[in-house]
Amino acid sequence: MKPAVIKGRIWLITDENGKRLDDIDTDMIFHNRYLHITEVSEMGKHALGNLEGWKDFPDKAKEGDIIIAGKNFGAGSSRQQAVDCFISLGIRAIVAESFGAIYKRNAINSGLAVLECPGIFEKELKSRDVIEIDLETGSIKKDKIEVAKTKPMSDVQMEIYRAGNLFEYGKLMGRQ
Amino acid sequence: MGKTIVEKIFQRHSKEEVKPGNIIWLDLDVRTARDFGGANVVKHLKKNYSGNYLENAEKTYFTFDLSVPAKTIKYAINQQICRKFSKETGMNLFDVDEGIGTHVLMEKGIVMPGSTAVGTDSHYNILGAIGAFGQGMGDTDIAFAFKTGKTWFEVPETMKINVTGGYKWPASPRDLTLAVMKKLGSSGMLGMAAEYYGYAIEKLSIDGRITLASQTTEMGGIIAFISPNKEVLDFIGKRTGRSVKGVYADRDASYVKEVDVDVENLEPMVASPPKPTNVCPVSDIEGMEIDSVFIGSCTNGKYEDMLAAAKILKGRKVKKGINLRITPATKEVWAMVIKEGLVDIFIDAGAVVFTNPGCGGCAEGMPGLVGESEIELSTTNRNYKGKQGPGEIYLVSPATAAASAVKGCLTSPDSLEVKN
């Protein structure tokens, strides 16, 4: 079972002036031209490959990192690769001001933890800081001090995440 | 307390208490995958289960619409994986000749008002055009839906959009849609269901309703319903072979917010890159030089759209140096365009490519791509950077697209006399 508390290094998705980037769509996260790739292990090297200033993200990211994103992160298409490319890099969680609806579903069903935290960009956080997020309480801490508190994942979302993915959850619950 | 449309449809398809914020298990009337995502759905099913892959083969479909016929070996292989799986399991398949999946489901009477349907297409909420619940999902979700016939869903709150006033030529349903997008922006519907009301909405044809519903995702919406009128109910009734009823909101239903959009004296509109909600009147940037034009996609690939373009192009020539590509949404539209003589008008206009039905260039699967720094006017639903090639995409109505193809620059359709 996956842990409810995740600790990791963060990346704030901003422009070159440090300004929050909203409406990052699935084409910026995982471009059309790589949609033929079906192996998750091959997807990581294209993560954020169409987002100005972030093309080197796959080289910078490390296993266990956490992404902090702006509003409507993952707008656009239903492509699973836009989630799987982060799983491929070992990203543990995404905390965003808000998510595109389909993107959020895809992340939860693939076992990638997500928290919606309006105002997260107003907190004293910078890339490479280490934070701790509790998916069950919605608490976000830095140096053991709570910097934000938000709505936690729901029971079903938490159960799917803990089981590993939607398929494993379905088997556990005898729903199939 | 009364219920909104999404709450009513969900309550008919769930045993759990339906209220906004609750997570429920939803029974699915229709589940599909297409030539993008379909092969991954098969892969998930084979990896996670040992046979008995479908809860109900009759309710399960493949619809090929992105690369039709396949233009790359990879697409050809993925389509073949789906064809083989369909034969193995007895599930339905609409092959590369049929057109855009969501449109085919409506044309063939597979979805009806009040249905619940999911597929691997983020524009699945286009089914709101006939008052059905449609939702695009990733391939994990869809594989689970194939296997179980169910999905989990967080009941969204509903917003109400009152479209006030009426509009007339040269404005069209696409311009109404762009006006709504200008008002709401890219997250104005984020995570919500919506219901459209107003005189101009009631007057919309099925094709116009499809145009409006097709842009729900670009405003962040889950689903936007247009309550079916008699024309829609008659159409679906004819296609399903039985009488159908619409699902309508209760008078005392609760809405999270209301937004008014005035379309009185609406002008033709244009969405400049890189966002579909980056909308202004055509008159603000009229005269902008263009390189190419595309008419088609799930947003504007219906017969009404083809007719709007043909009325402009009749007896005229596309300006030298501009190419115009036209892709009907489905085989049915394609056949009508040929039968009614529209394709002759297109050919006479010169520099026109009329293609097999499908999605067009939206996922690089078909004609409709633009080169570096090329400026294209397009009736597709997205102009994100790199979405249809490295060029710049401006979103407009079919009439604006056709008139601009004739003039060689962005222009309002009323700059040309229209011959009926």
Give the residue from chain A lying closest to B40, CA to CA.
Answer: A38
A-B contacts (CB, under 8 Å): 119
Nearest Cβ partner for A110 among B122, B140, B147: B140
Distance between CA A134 and CA A110 in Å, rounded? 19
- CA-to-CA separations, B294 to A88, B92, B142, B220, B380, in angstroms, rounded: 36, 31, 31, 25, 8
Per residue in A11-25, pLDDT tens? Answer: 999 999 999 999 999
pLDDT at A157 over 80: yes
Residues 6+ apart with CB under 8 A from A112: A83, A86, A87, A91, A92, A93, A94
- End-to-end, the C-alpha distance of chain B in Å comes to 50
Partner residue opposite B137 with nearest CB, options A78, A160, A165: A78
Tokens of B264: 């009185």
Q: Is the peptide bond before B156 cis (omega within 30 degrees of 0)?
A: no
- Three-state DSSP class for B375? strand
Rounded CA-CA distance B348/A164 in Å is 59
Give the phi and the psi of residue A5 in degrees, each rounded to 5.
-110, 125
B18/B155 Cα distance (integer angstroms): 7
| Residue B385 CB neighbour total at 10 angstroms | 17
What sign results for the dihedral spanned by CA atoms B126, B127, B132, B136?
Answer: negative
Residue A125: strand, helix, or coil: coil
CA B314 to chain centre: 27
Query: Distance between CA atoms of B108 and B228, rounded to whole angstroms?
Result: 17
**In this structure, what token pair is assigned to residue B16?**
């759990």
Kind plus residue range of the DSSP H or E element containing A78: none
> Chain B residues with CB inside 8 Å of A167's CB?
44, 48, 140, 143-144
pLDDT of residue A173: 77
Dihedral over Cα of B98, B99, B102, B107: its sign:
negative
Contact (CB<8Å) A78/B122 = yes
| pLDDT of residue A36 exceeding 80 | no
Assign A176 a pLDDT band (cuts: 50, 70, 90). Answer: very low
**Which of chain B's residues have a Cβ under 8 Å away from the Cβ of A175?**
25, 148, 150
Choose the closest CB to B187 out of A33, A71, A76: A71
What is the C-alpha separation between B84 and B231, in angstroms, rounded? 39
- How large a percentage of chain A has pLDDT more than 90? 85
Q: Which of B99, B39, B174 is nearest to B360 (CA)?
A: B99
Distance from CA of A38 to the nearest CA of B (A): 7
Distance from CA of A76 to the nearest CA of B (A): 7
Share of chain A above pLDDT 70, in %: 98
What does residue B12 show for φ and ψ, rounded to 5 degrees? -75, -15
* Residue B385 touches chain A, beta carbons under 8 Å: yes
Residues 105-134 of B with CB under 8 A from A: 120-122, 124
Q: How far is CA B203 from CA B98, B112, B299, in A?
A: 28, 20, 18
Chain B contact for A159, CB < 8 A? no
Query: Which chain A residue lies closest to B121 (C-alpha atoms)?
Result: A78
Q: Which residues of chain B have pLDDT under 70?
A: 419-420
Please tell me the distance from the alpha carbon of residue A172 to that of residue B46, in angstroms, as a whole number. 18
β-pair partners for B326:
B295, B354
Confidence of residue A33 (pLDDT cuts 50, 70, 90): confident
Min distance A111 CA to chain B CA atoms (Å): 11
Long-range contacts of B388-391, Cβ-Cβ distance < 8 Å, separation of 24 or more: B388/B294, B388/B361, B388/B362, B388/B364, B389/B361, B389/B364, B391/B291
CA B363 to chain A, closest CA, distance in angstroms equals 6
pLDDT tens-digit map of A87-139: 999 999 999 999 999 999 999 999 999 999 999 999 999 999 999 999 999 99
Q: What is the pLDDT of residue B420?
A: 53
B339 neighbors B308 (Cβ within 8 angstroms): no
How far apart are alpha carbons B17 and B23 in whole angstroms? 9
Q: Which of B44, B147, B187 sits opposite A176 (nearest CB)?
A: B147
Q: Which of residues 41-100 of B touch A (CB under 8 A)?
A: 43-44, 48-49, 72, 74-75, 78
ipTM of the complex: 0.90
pLDDT (tens digit, 9 = 90+) per residue, A50-73?
A: 999 999 999 999 999 999 999 999
**3-class secondary-structure state, position B21:** coil
User: How many angstroms away from the CA of B160 is the closest CA of chain A?
Assistant: 19
Q: Nearest-CA distance from B45 to chain A in Å?
A: 9
| Mutual angle of helices B206-213 and B230-240, in 10-degree steps | 100
Determine whether the interchain pair A33/B143 forms a contact, defined as Cβ–Cβ distance below 8 Å: no
Residue B279 identity (one-letter amino acid): V
Do residue A170 and residue B147 have CB atoms under 8 angstroms apart? yes
Cβ-Cβ contacts under 8 Å, A38 against chain B: 39-40, 43
pLDDT at B1: 84
Q: Which two tokens stand for residue B153?
A: 């869903």
